[in-house]
Amino acid sequence: MASDLAFACRCGAVSGTLRDVGPGQGDHVICHCTDCQDLTRHLGHADMLDAHGGSALYQSRCAKMRLDTGRDRLACLHMTDKPTLRWYASCCGMPLFNTYANGRIPYITTQLAACDPAKRDALTGPPLGHLFTQDGSGDTSALPKMSMGRLMRRFFPRMVKDMISGDRRRCALFDPATLEPVAPPRRLTAEERQALRSGGAIP
């Protein structure tokens, strides 16, 4: 369909489609937080960040993502003790999605760097704003800011729809019965975090 947006990891083993993509269906934001930045460094894909360390993200309803290939390559990790779960392709390390730790709080945030470059800008619309600009690199003072509060107010109605409709149990990343992740999450150790913060690389 015209509103479908294809995504794939860098090597192509993991691929799928985001359905019903549009500015009214989800939120396009740029996140500059240290966890998003550290994630790309940890996985060896820091080149996907923009000049200010930003990650282009699209947050939408959890059942709108269809996984076509590579389910067995999906892996996930927690950067910190916070609940955000970071999904990536174990084949090439490409970051793909952010979700809550389990399917109880339903949303899926897709890395736009993994989406079809010919269609993503037209479908998602311009970014609503930039999150955590204080953590970005260089002079971020001119970037239009977006607060987490505003993002949460936009996310909340979609979350309620996912809960009421039962779509919460139709997310490809969580078991429909238990709502637990389909791949075992790993949590970075303090040493791994420290290495990222000091500019070192994890082999």
CA angle 49, 53, 54 (to 5 degrees): 70
Instruction: Choose, by CB under 5 A, the member of 67, 91, 128, 172 that binds Zn ion.
Output: 91
Instruction: Choose, by CB under 5 A, the member of 5, 9, 108, 113 that binds Zn ion.
Output: 9
State yes or no: residue 39 binds Zn ion (CB under 5 A). no
Nearest residue (CB) to Zn ion, 54 versus 181: 54
Instruction: Choose, by CB under 5 A, the member of 6, 92, 151, 163 that binds Zn ion.
Output: 92
Q: CA–CA separation, 120 vs 39, rounded Å?
A: 22
Q: Which two tokens stand for residue 36?
A: 């998003």
Nearest residue (CB) to Zn ion, 48 versus 169: 48
CA angle 108, 139, 39 (to 5 degrees): 35
Instruction: Choose, by CB under 5 A, the member of 18, 30, 36, 143 that binds Zn ion.
Output: 36
Supply the minimum distance, in Å, between the C-beta of residue 56 and Zn ion: 11
Q: What is the dihedral of CA 122, 127, 128, 130, to 10 degrees?
A: 170
Nearest residue (CB) to Zn ion, 11 versus 160: 11
Return left, alpha or beta for 20; rule: phi > 0 is left, psi -120 to 50 is alpha, else beta. Answer: left
Instruction: Choose, by CB under 5 A, the member of 31, 56, 62, 143 that binds Zn ion.
Output: 31
Tell me which long-range contacts 137-141 makes (C-beta under 8 A, separation of at least 24): 137/32, 137/51, 137/52, 137/53, 138/51, 138/52, 138/53, 140/32, 140/52
Return left, alpha or beta for 94; rule: phi > 0 is left, psi -120 to 50 is alpha, else beta. Answer: beta
Considering only the stretches 10-18, 40-48, 105-113, 162-170, report the one whose residues sit in contact with Zn ion under the rule CB under 5 A: 10-18
Nearest residue (CB) to Zn ion, 2 versus 134: 134
Residue 19 backbone dihedrals phi, psi, to 5 degrees: -100, 155
Considering only the stretches 7-15, 61-69, 79-87, 152-160, report the one whose residues sit in contact with Zn ion under the rule CB under 5 A: 7-15
Instruction: Choose, by CB under 5 A, the member of 49, 65, 74, 89 that binds Zn ion.
Output: 89
Binding interface with Zn ion (CB under 5 A): 9, 11, 13, 31, 33, 36, 89, 91-92
